[in-house]
Amino acid sequence: MEHQTLLELMKDMSLEEKVGQLIQVPAAMLGENGIITGPTGSIPMDDQTRGLIGSILGTVGAEKLIALQKEQMAMQPHHIPMLFMFDIINGHQTIFPIPLSQGCSFRPDLVEKAAHIAAKESAVSGLHVVFSPMLDLVRDPRWGRVMESPGEDPYLNSLMARAMVRGYQGKDLKEEGRVAACLKHFAGYGAPDGGREYDNVELSLRTLREDYLPSYAAAVDEGCRMAMSSFNTLDRIPSSGNKWLMRSVLRQEMGFNGVLISDYSAIEEMVNHGSAEDPRDAARQAMEASVDIDMCSVAYIGHLANLIREGSVEESLLDEAVLRVLTLKNDLGLFENPFKDADAVKEQALLLCDEHRRAAKDLAACSMVLLENDGILPLTPGKQKLALIGPHANNHGIYGSWSFPQDVTQIVTVRQGIERIQPNNVTCCTGSYMLAPNMCSRFGQFETIDPEQTEKWLVQALEDAKKADTVVICLGEDTYQSGEAGSRTVLQISPLQLKLLQKVHEVNENIVLVLFSGRPLETGELTNYCKALLWAGMPGTEGGNAIADLLFGICQPEGRLSMSFPHIATQAPLYYNHLPTGRPNLHGPQTTFCAGYIDESCYARYPFGYGLSYTRFDYSPVTLSADTMDPTGCINASVTVTNTGDHPGTETVQLYLRDIAGSVSRPVRMLKGFKKITLQPGQSQQVCFEIREDMLRFYDIHMNYTSEPGIFEVHIAANSALDHKAIFRLNQ
């Protein structure tokens, strides 16, 4: 539809009809079966209102959404189609690794491909918008939603943001296999006090701008069509009512002109925050902050029309919001084809097709991080008797808590993956419960622990371990121990799992530990009982196959951590790009008046960018094309990397800069580039990076985004904790 026609349509709409376009409810409230992803409060809705609803969330399926669209358009006075939205965070039915693991791939190309596949599957199942990418920078593994984020670095998160938006949206939303993306949660939701879900966020303006906003800005710059306001307060203002954050920063500074949707009931929750007297006041604040769609709260549906009638809210604010919603529908082509890609026959053929599975396996294999290996890996297929042990050894539940598989048996378990390569001489035993008597996964789900069953499993596990040459023990978090409302204070595997590991180690020390979790966990105790440790994250549909390929060396481990693993949870928040402090601690527990603790290192056990392969890489000294740089010039930095081991390997060569002195304190490292290279044993390759003035900019003492002359360190290394540098000066 032409834009002018859209404007004429809007002129012809009643006030109630316009408000209806800004209302979103879960499909379940329309009597459909669907996923409820928030508090199940009741929203008053008579038949007339129901016919005006502009969008729904939480249900999917071509046949169902075609029927829903037909029914709704028949009731809607101008037959305006609805938008169908859903949380497709790491894939629809072909499930990819959780975004935190995707960040560890350092493969934006594969992440873009995964998003495109997710878009194709979502669109054919009737969806128009996915609530992804989640781009909250994370530094605190106690927070359950770290699993949804690409990680702790602004540069890497920004690359992943762009890749996901491109993958979902392509260049034209009308294209088959494209959906609108929704960046979230704006802004700063990843830094709640204490890692406690939904809690307050205290960030200086400079930290907000330096570290937390870049990934959202990258998504906007890539053309992301929707943004979601976050639950948290920032500067004690709930985001959904934060006019400065939404109108000045998101829309004016970043240039976002898409649809801004609140998070689930977040507008009404301003009353709980104590920043709105009642839902009516909350509705007023949200409209003034330019929140277009009220997701599942009574604010807009109950009060917006009256606020307009009595002149408390300008109708022009309503019109601009409605026009943004209608424009998105128009850009998706819904006025010409309200069902877009929805097609039940194509859906059957496309979901989980072989091509999609292959992509899922490739990304899963690149996302896992080898944390320890004394040489026990890689295994040789058929050469050793294997005992698979643990609650994750044959568990389909390795898809992450924001995935909704219709058939979990489609998810390949570790056992299935290993037996595909080594069909014989493999035993498998659960070994222990996932949780422990006092542990719960989200929403208070506990396991009933039967002591007899525990004993039986242990006996079986020890028998299997005794007969095996090598034990592959698969432990970790339940898939629902992370995600929304999944904050934890203890970042350890359950005591029952630890006991299993210890007992197995007593009878067989040849242990490979595969660790599943939606967040960094404490691993110090675990490494006392294994010879290799592979962090699998939550790897999705092809997880078992990817793990087997890695363990047997069919593919090489190339994942590098996108989030620091602490020694202990109480170190959080923990991140590599920290400030030096006035008494820098070079490593280890505090000794004499330096930063850190007296009882633990103040650094990560496994730092950002860390990961092993099956070989070793040697780095030559860093060389620079010059030791000074004019602001208009550039410097080339390079190293020669050599594979000095006896396996092929893929290395992620990382470029970090450090600004030694600025008008404000500057981080000890900042990732500014990386390159992946694959080398055969004995092979060398020169890796070059161009350093330009724009890479040196930051928010100076006056909050101007600029570079300042001075000394810079250039580190080119295998991870963020290594000191492998050359130095140059930026001239005035």
Q: Site residues (CB under 6 A) for ligand GLC?
A: 37-38, 57, 87, 131, 184, 263-264, 484
Please, which residue, 116 or 185, has the CB nearer to ligand GLC?
185
Structure-block tokens of residue 663: 């008008």
Q: Taking a C-beta distance cutoff of 8 angstroms, is the pair 536, 398 a contact?
A: yes
The distance of closest approach from Cβ of residue 265 to ligand GLC in the complex, given in angstroms and rounded to an integer, is 8
Q: Which is nearer to ligand GLC, 85 or 637 (CB)?
A: 85
CA distance 365 to 400: 16
Q: Return the closest-CA partner of residue 604 out of 634, 571, 637, 630.
A: 571
With CB atoms as reference, the residue minimizing the distance to ligand GLC is: 37
Cβ proximity to ligand GLC, 140 vs 484, nearer residue: 484
CA-closest candidate to residue 222, choices 249, 259, 254, 251: 254
Closer CB to ligand GLC, 264 or 575, in the complex: 264
Please, which residue, 293 or 635, has the CB nearer to ligand GLC? 293
Residue 569 falls in which region: left (phi positive, over 0), alpha (psi -120 to 50) or beta: alpha
Cβ distance to ligand GLC smaller for residue 69 or 240 = 240
Q: What CA–CA distance (Å, rounded) separates 482 from 476? A: 11
The CB-of-232 to ligand GLC minimum distance in angstroms stands at 10
Q: How far is the CB of 148 from ligand GLC (least distance, A)?
A: 7
In 3D space, the residue among 514, 475, 469, 569 whose CA is nearest the CA of residue 372 turns out to be 514
Q: How far apart, in whole angstroms, are the C-alpha atoms of residue 8 and residue 88?
A: 34
For residue 229, the minimal CB distance to ligand GLC (Å) is 10
Least separation in angstroms between residue 113's CB and ligand GLC is: 23
Q: 40 near 7, Cβ under 8 Å?
A: no
Of the two residues 37 and 403, which places its CB atom closer to ligand GLC in the complex?
A: 37
Query: Could you identify the residue written with the tokens 């410097």?
Result: 635
- Helix 354-367 / helix 543-551 crossing angle, nearest 10 deg: 50
The residue assigned the tokens 């121990």 is: 481
What is the CB neighbour count within 10 angstroms for residue 271?
18
Given 87, 153, 211, 263, the catalytic residue? 263
Q: 298: helix, coil or strand?
A: helix
SS3 content of the chain, % helix, strand, coil (to 5): 35, 20, 45
CB distance 250 to 291 below 8 Å: no
To ligand GLC, the closest distance from the beta carbon of 197 in angstroms equals 10
263 catalytic? Reply is: yes
**Residue (of 550, 554, 516, 522) closest to 535 by Cα position:** 516
Tell me if residue 691 falls in helix, strand or coil: strand
Residues 341 and 174 sit within 8 Å (Cβ to Cβ): no
Sign of CA dihedral 136, 398, 371, 361: negative
CB of 96 closer than 8 Å to CB of 360:
yes
CB atoms within 10 A of CB 452: 7
Q: How far is the CB of 38 from ligand GLC (least distance, A)?
A: 5
Q: Return the H-helix or E-strand segment holding 275.
A: none
Q: Judged by CB, which is closer to ligand GLC: 486, or 667?
A: 486
Report the residue number, 92 or 725, with the smaller CB distance to ligand GLC. Answer: 92
Please report the beta strands in 477-573, taking only residues with DSSP state E, as ranges in sequence order. 511-516, 532-537
Q: What whole-number distance in Å separates Cα of residue 149 and Cα of residue 562? A: 9
Interatomic CA distance for residues 65 and 623, integer angstroms? 59
CB nearer ligand GLC, residue 27 or residue 435: 27
Q: How far is the CB of 402 from ligand GLC (least distance, A)?
A: 8
Give the strand pairing for 710-717 and 649-659: antiparallel
In whole angstroms, how close is the CB of 297 to ligand GLC at the nearest point? Answer: 12
* Least distance from ligand GLC to the Cβ atom of residue 364, Å: 23
CB 514 within 8 A of CB 473: yes
Q: What positions carry a catalytic annotation?
A: 263
